[in-house]
Amino acid sequence: MAIRAIHNWNVLAERRFAPAGDIPVYYEERGAGDPLILIHGLSASGRWWTRNISALAEHHRVYVVDLAGFGRSRAAQRPALGETGAFLERWMDSLNIERASLVGHSMGGAIAARLAADFPARVDRLVLVNAAALPLSRSGMVLRFGLGGVFRSVSPAFLPVVVADGWRAGPVSVIGAARDLLQADIRAKLSQIEAPTLVIWGERDRILPLALGEQLSTAIPDARLHVIRGAGHNPMWDRSAEFNEAALDFLAQKPLIRGVV
């Protein structure tokens, strides 16, 4: 049950907090239809889906979550990355979401993949967007982030959102989550994913190169890869129209019966 509700009539979205266990998590809810949960990446927030929510909400009941420690959930205690799949499953329980499709970007992709592997009955379809679900070497990760790879991978229009969300989350959450990503290795779980999966990747990602997307799409049993030309690490923003079309086409494939695509 939602703890608090605020109606923003400009975007026709319901803004709420719902508990994952005893931790309140902020989310926005919009549209009608089969439930669809959008999970953001490292140092981000639900604002990273701004260019996608309206299109997706024409066909789905969209839940845009701010993970604990980030966005409007920044005051909440951040669980370890390895616990975040179970954390979101408890959040789904609090909203009586028995089963949903998931869209996860970067770190959120790793979280979505873990949830789909550990709780297959809760996931209809899975969309992994430039997902940090395969390990990078520590030197590779530090090089890409330390030399400004993040800023070189975003468009000028998106940069204020990136900077504001990173500042709002603060160094404790950002560094802690980045450390978790360096230590996490969910390769063994990928073969356990039962949900039909679409891997979307920006061709020009300087943080997580396209080769990782190709590897990821072969590691998951029922997955295929869609490359968005000209996009960087954030294809849902860089090429939103193509992203929305690809995601909606994939999500529209029926029936959503386990093992049937």
pLDDT per residue as tens digits for the range 157-189:
766 666 666 666 566 666 665 666 666 678 889
Q: Mean pLDDT: which of 70-74, 144-148, 195-199 is highest?
A: 195-199
Sheet with 223-228: strands ordered across: 4-8, 13-20, 23-30, 60-65, 34-39, 100-105, 123-129, 197-202, 223-228
**Token match 């900077």: residue?**
163
Whole-angstrom distance, CA of residue 162 vs CA of residue 134: 23
Residue 51 CB neighbours (<10 A): 18
As given in the structure block, the two tokens for residue 252 are: 């529209």
Residue 49 CB neighbours (<10 A): 24
Q: Between 164 and 135, whose confidence is greater?
A: 135
**Of 73, 65, 68, 67, residue with least CA distance to 49:** 65
In angstroms, the Cα distances linking 6 to 50, 60, 63, 208 are 18, 20, 15, 37
The amino acid present at 250, given as its one-letter code, is F
As given in the structure block, the two tokens for residue 150 are: 């993040």
Whole-angstrom distance, CA of residue 112 vs CA of residue 128: 8
**What is the average pLDDT score of the chain?**
82
Query: Average pLDDT of 253-259?
Result: 54
All structural domains of the chain, each given as residue ranges with its CATH number in brackets, are 4-251 (3.40.50.1820)
pLDDT at position 248 over 60? yes
CA atoms within 13 A on the CB side of 12: 9
Residue 10 CB neighbours (<10 A): 6
Q: Is the pTM of this model over 0.85?
A: no
As given in the structure block, the two tokens for residue 167 are: 């500042």
pLDDT digits (tens, 9 = 90+) for 22-59: 888 999 999 999 999 999 988 778 889 999 999 999 99
Q: Collapse the DSSP code of 69 into the 3-class scheme (helix H, G, I; strand E, B; otherwise coil) and give the result.
A: coil
Per-residue model confidence (pLDDT) at position 128:
98
